[in-house]
Chain A
Amino acid sequence: MASSPKLNSRIPEGPMEHKWTKYRSTVHLINPANKRSLEVIVVGSGLAGASAAASLAEMGYKVKVFCFQDSPRRAHSIAAQGGINAAKNYQNDGDSVYRLFYDTVKGGDYRSREANVHRLSEVSGNIIDQCVAQGVPFAREYGGTLSNRSFGGVLVQRTFYAAGQTGQQLLLGAYSALQRQVGMGAAKLYTRHEMLDVVVIDGKARGIIARDLITGKLERHFGHAVILASGGYGNVFYLSTNAMGCNVTAAWKAHKKGAFFANPCYTQIHPTCIPVSGDHQSKLTLMSESLRNDGRIWVPKKQGDTRKANEIPEEERDYYLERRYPAFGNLVPRDVASRAAKERCDAGYGVGASKMAVYLDFSANMMRYGQIEANKQSLHNPTKEQIRELGMAVVKEKYGNLFDMYKQITNENPYEVPMRIYPAVHYTMGGLWVDYNLMTTVPGLYALGEANFSDHGANRLGASALMQGLADGYFVIPYTISDYLSGEIRTKAIATDNEAFVKTEAEVQERINKLMNVKGTKSVDHFHKALGKIMWNKCGMARNAQGLKEAIEEIKQLRLEFWKNVRVTGEQNEFNPELEKAGRVADFLELGELMCIDALHRNESCGGHFREEYQTTDGEAQRDDDNFAYVAAWEMKEISNWELNKEELKFESIKLAQRNYAS
């Protein structure tokens, strides 16, 4: 298989370990005076956007940052809980750049681009250094050094964390770096602004159209380059662990302007989330993967067991992950853990009122920690209750905020009874196709963080999204963007009365008018929920050709109905959350179709993409490396009409192998 001529991945020549070093020392540089006249637009203020914006402003570029929240600090990255990976080997447990690289490629089920992942592993350590220098309060040991925990799919402890609030602390670090630049006038903030289109002039991205969400006014902004760091599209499923505002709009508009969309069907379903409680449900809440360090997952051995968890004796519990995957146990990767939970529930072993849940149980480890504490404190013959109390304190320190959140939501106390959990949509590995420079197929248009497809293949390992977002923003784009901008030093800022700006703004305006003028009878949420149901049932944890074909037809129907019957209340020239949602759902209704098309064309199972027709006799994902070791990059011709372009994946450093987490 050869890659499509339309896709040039620009992977530097040379051995894997030297590609990035060599690239960095040979990339074109731009003198400081020229940097001052180069303008860069950054859409998004999450880890990827804030770190990119801060770093580029520090370097001297003129930066404009956009986000739809009222402050950059509220980007969805703030909600990340468990941690961030880095190959520091502080635990002396055999970690290395190579091992992180290997784990990530393997965890991604051999569907990622080696050169990008290797670079990610190389810069991972710098991220921790940078964050600590900014004052990010990571967890520490008594000796004052940084502390680590384990995440799924690996056998080392390389995850840095700040209780269950790692994303918050990392984002506040990046945000403060950004605010410093804002204070100095090097970066300008546009909060409560939503980017609604990219402006392309002579084939290059030259700016955006954004809507001021308070006044409803459309604005034109010029940039020599445009960076999209607009996050993932998990909310296409309606229910997900993502924040309510997460959406695909920025990436989708770019897609419609010529940026290819890669691997849209690769969705991560996270194994440990609080189950749905009723029809009113607006989102699902994650219980961090870090809990699997200390929580054991089980279901009763008896089908339809109605006893309470505490009444089921040890020998009647099936710790199915430990049983099926003895080497990794409860710490198998997410795709494996999620499918295993679904398998048990579908087979009738689920727990709780809905029977669509499994237990995540901390009691054994609470006792173990309690015993250690009792020893430390030289308590002789402590009672069981004393041990439990001591153990509880340890668990509280590690996961207190998560336990509180669980209790708040379910009204059950997880210190006393096991948590009930079930898989939920969490992360999207797919996204805008980018080359090694993180540039999309539109010159001058970049995609960073969850918005691109680059590093996680068909399944992301836990604690690697934060790493990738910050790697992209702090350590990759500052170098790679100069490769492009060094050719733009003679380009004068383009006035926004240029006809391309006028025309693009008119198109955006027309779409808003269209949405406002349907004046139908059903709310935006009605359509969003309906789309979510189709996606979850037919393009969710398990997929098959028949269901996907049906889903494609159903989505087309739903889209037609949306444009005939949606009701958007209020006015367009005011703060109007319904109008914002309507635009996003309209885009989801197009994306959903492409996700199903992608899932249908990929006749194999890999990572988060599980096609029921392609599984081993043990129910594991069965890849087809001969026919599908490629990135599927879709080019939009018109709605419902996409052309497939393939980027061949070559594995030079790591041998393709069937993933094995059992031994």
Chain B
Amino acid sequence: MSHENMNLTLKVWRQKNKDAKGNFETHQVKEVSPDMSFLEMFDVLNERLITEGKDPIAFDHDCREGICGMCSMFIDGRPHGPVKGVTTCQLHMRSFKDGDTVVVEPWRSAAFPVVKDLAVNRSAFDRIIAAGGFVSVNTGNSKDANNILIPKDEADDAFNAAACIGCGACVATCKNGSAMLFVSAKVSQLALLPQGQVERENRVLGMVAQMDEEGFGTCTVTGACEVECPKGISLENIARMNREYVAASAKKKD
């Protein structure tokens, strides 16, 4: 490949558990290949820490393909690091230069308590989905799939909203710690589809109420979330959700 191997300085957040006070720890990593992923660089560092008898750095990851939403590192002040449209696991070391100092922190949000080091707990998202992010249809009582015709454009829009991986980067980057982008993606997907119509109002009211209860902040439309979302979930979804919410609230009052 084009570049040579590089040496980097990492400043990594260490925190024993949710109640402990954390601090930054500095590590040198040498001979980093530009073809490595960011997480593979952490694997190499952890391997060394283990050999030295030290505690390796805990971080979340699973698919390493940018789809499970598990990986979650706040790199140099940006969730998932410097490259747009990419999760931490798909970030490659060719995006860094020899001699760089890289600061790595967990997602920071009141609603996402730290589990250990760089791993956080995002169960709040599951509870928001449980509050309405579904179509109430029991197994077995559906008609032939092609009886529901959906214009391609609408299906595509719904798909684009459904592409959210639930990683929480939007929350981590937001100065208010708002979960609006995540919630609006699900509300939009189902509002755009005929299957979602019946429960449209209850859905948005239920999900927003749960979002507030979980301690996420309010949205002041800074737009930071859209910039950092690895799946390109658009701010339009927030606008759509606001309309849905206003309409549903008005109807409830009637």
Check if B40 sits within 8 Å of A79, measured CB to CB. no
Select which of A73, A74, A134 is within 8 A of B135 by beta carbon.
A134
Nearest chain A CB to B46 CB, angstrom units: 8
Q: Which of B56-64, B169-177, B219-227, B245-253 contacts A (4 or more CB under 8 A)?
A: B56-64
Residues of B112-135 contacting chain A, CB below 8 A: 115-116, 119, 121-123, 125-126, 129-135
Q: Known: A135-B190, A135-B196, A176-B135. Is A79-B86 also a contact (CB below 8 A)?
A: no
Across the interface, name the chain B residue whose C-beta is closest to A140.
Answer: B155
Select which of A70, A74, A129, A131 is within 8 A of B143 by beta carbon.
A129
Across the interface, name the chain A residue whose C-beta is closest to B131.
Answer: A183
Select which of A165, A245, A525 is within 8 A of B62 by beta carbon.
A245
Nearest chain A CB to B66 CB, angstrom units: 7
Contact partners of B61 in chain A: CB under 8 A: 244
**Most-contacted residue by chain B among A165, A172, A214 (CB, 10 A):** A172
**Cα–Cα, bound, A278→B34 (Å):** 11
Check if A134 sits within 8 Å of B155, measured CB to CB. no
**Cα–Cα, bound, A277→B37 (Å):** 11
Q: Does A283 contact B (CB under 8 A)?
A: yes
Q: Which of A110-118, A405-413, A505-513 contacts B (4 or more CB under 8 A)?
A: A405-413
Contact partners of A129 in chain B: CB under 8 A: 142-145
Q: Does B92 contact A (CB under 8 A)?
A: yes
**Cα–Cα, bound, A280→B16 (Å):** 27
Q: Known: A69-B62, A76-B62, A525-B47. Is A475-B67 also a contact (CB below 8 A)?
A: no
Check if B115 sits within 8 Å of A280, measured CB to CB. no
Check if A191 sits within 8 Å of B55, measured CB to CB. no
Q: Does A594 contact B (CB under 8 A)?
A: no
Check if A574 sits within 8 Å of B145, measured CB to CB. no
Q: Known: A71-B126, A76-B63. Is A278-B35 also a contact (CB below 8 A)?
A: yes
Interface of B is mostly: loop
Contact partners of B137 in chain A: CB under 8 A: 130, 133-134, 177
Select which of A165, A574, A577 is within 8 A of B17 by beta carbon.
A574
Q: Does A586 contact B (CB under 8 A)?
A: no
Nearest chain B CB to A385 CB, angstrom units: 26
Across the interface, name the chain B residue whose C-beta is closest to A164.
Answer: B67
Q: Known: A133-B142, A137-B189, A168-B67. Is A180-B158 also a contact (CB below 8 A)?
A: no
Across the interface, name the chain B residue whose C-beta is closest to A478.
Answer: B139
**Cα–Cα, bound, A409→B56 (Å):** 25
Contact partners of B58 in chain A: CB under 8 A: 575-577
**Most-contacted residue by chain B among A78, A88, A133 (CB, 10 A):** A133
Select which of A74, A125, A145, A286 is within 8 A of B70 by beta carbon.
A74
**Cα–Cα, bound, A517→B177 (Å):** 42
Check if B146 sits within 8 Å of A126, measured CB to CB. no
Check if B126 sits within 8 Å of A72, measured CB to CB. yes
Nearest chain B CB to A497 CB, angstrom units: 29
Nearest chain A CB to B36 CB, angstrom units: 5
Contact partners of A245 in chain B: CB under 8 A: 62
**Most-contacted residue by chain A among B43, B58, B123, B134 (CB, 10 A):** B134
Contact partners of A132 in chain B: CB under 8 A: 142, 145, 148, 195
Q: Does B165 contact A (CB under 8 A)?
A: yes
Residues of A183-238 contacting chain B, CB below 8 A: 183, 189, 191-192, 214
Check if B140 sits within 8 Å of A569, measured CB to CB. no
Contact partners of A71 in chain B: CB under 8 A: 69, 122-123, 125-126, 166
Q: Known: A183-B131, A280-B44. Is A78-B67 also a contact (CB below 8 A)?
A: yes
**Most-contacted residue by chain A among B33, B138, B190 (CB, 10 A):** B138
Contact partners of A179 in chain B: CB under 8 A: 126, 129-130, 133-134
Check if B143 sits within 8 Å of A243, measured CB to CB. no
Contact partners of B151 in chain A: CB under 8 A: 140, 144
**Cα–Cα, bound, A172→B70 (Å):** 15
Contact partners of B165 in chain A: CB under 8 A: 78, 168
Q: Interface residues of B toward A: which range?
A: 35 or more
Select which of A142, A165, A183, A578 is within 8 A of B67 by beta carbon.
A165
Q: Known: A278-B36, A409-B92, A577-B58. Is A133-B65 also a contact (CB below 8 A)?
A: no
Nearest chain A CB to B139 CB, angstrom units: 4
Nearest chain A CB to B14 CB, angstrom units: 12
Against B, the Cβ 8 Å flags (1 = close, 0 = not) of A234-263 are: 000000000111000000000000000000
Q: Known: A574-B17, A575-B119. Is A411-B60 also a contact (CB below 8 A)?
A: no
Nearest chain B CB to A450 CB, angstrom units: 15
Contact partners of B158 in chain A: CB under 8 A: 135, 137
**Cα–Cα, bound, A282→B39 (Å):** 9
Select which of A133, A137, A404, A411 is within 8 A of B162 by beta carbon.
A137
Q: Known: A78-B67, A244-B61, A577-B58. Is A88-B145 also a contact (CB below 8 A)?
A: yes
Across the interface, name the chain A residue whose C-beta is closest to B50.
Answer: A523
Check if A244 sits within 8 Å of B195, measured CB to CB. no
Against A, the Cβ 8 Å flags (1 = close, 0 = not) of B52-96 are: 011110101111111111100000000000000110001010100
Q: Known: A245-B62, A285-B65, A575-B17. Is A134-B138 also a contact (CB below 8 A)?
A: no
Nearest chain B CB to A257 CB, angstrom units: 27
Check if B64 sits within 8 Å of A244, measured CB to CB. yes
**Cα–Cα, bound, A283→B121 (Å):** 25
**Cα–Cα, bound, A570→B66 (Å):** 28
Q: Does B205 contact A (CB under 8 A)?
A: no
**Cα–Cα, bound, A222→B212 (Å):** 35
Q: Known: A74-B62, A278-B35. Is A137-B155 also a contact (CB below 8 A)?
A: yes
Nearest chain B CB to A524 CB, angstrom units: 8
Q: Known: A73-B69, A179-B133, A280-B40. Is A135-B139 also a contact (CB below 8 A)?
A: no
Across the interface, name the chain B residue whose C-beta is closest to A79.
Answer: B63
Residues of A396-427 contacting chain B, CB below 8 A: 404-405, 408-409, 411
**Most-contacted residue by chain A among B40, B68, B69 (CB, 10 A):** B68
Residues of B1-23 contacting chain A, CB below 8 A: 1-2, 16-17
Check if A405 sits within 8 Å of B140, measured CB to CB. no
Q: Known: A130-B142, A135-B196, A142-B152. Is A176-B129 also a contact (CB below 8 A)?
A: yes
Contact partners of B135 in chain A: CB under 8 A: 133-135, 176
Contact partners of A191 in chain B: CB under 8 A: 123, 126
Residues of A247-305 contacting chain B, CB below 8 A: 277-278, 280-283, 285-286
What are 7 A-B contacts with C-beta separation under 8 Å? A71-B125, A76-B63, A133-B142, A135-B190, A182-B126, A245-B62, A280-B43
Besides A140-B155, A281-B40, 18 more A-B contacts (Cβ < 8 Å) are: A69-B62, A71-B126, A73-B166, A78-B68, A90-B146, A129-B142, A133-B137, A134-B134, A137-B193, A140-B150, A176-B129, A176-B135, A179-B126, A179-B129, A182-B130, A280-B36, A523-B47, A525-B43
What are the 7 tightest A-B residue pairs by CB atom distance, in nearest-first order? A144-B149, A133-B142, A183-B130, A176-B134, A137-B159, A179-B130, A132-B145
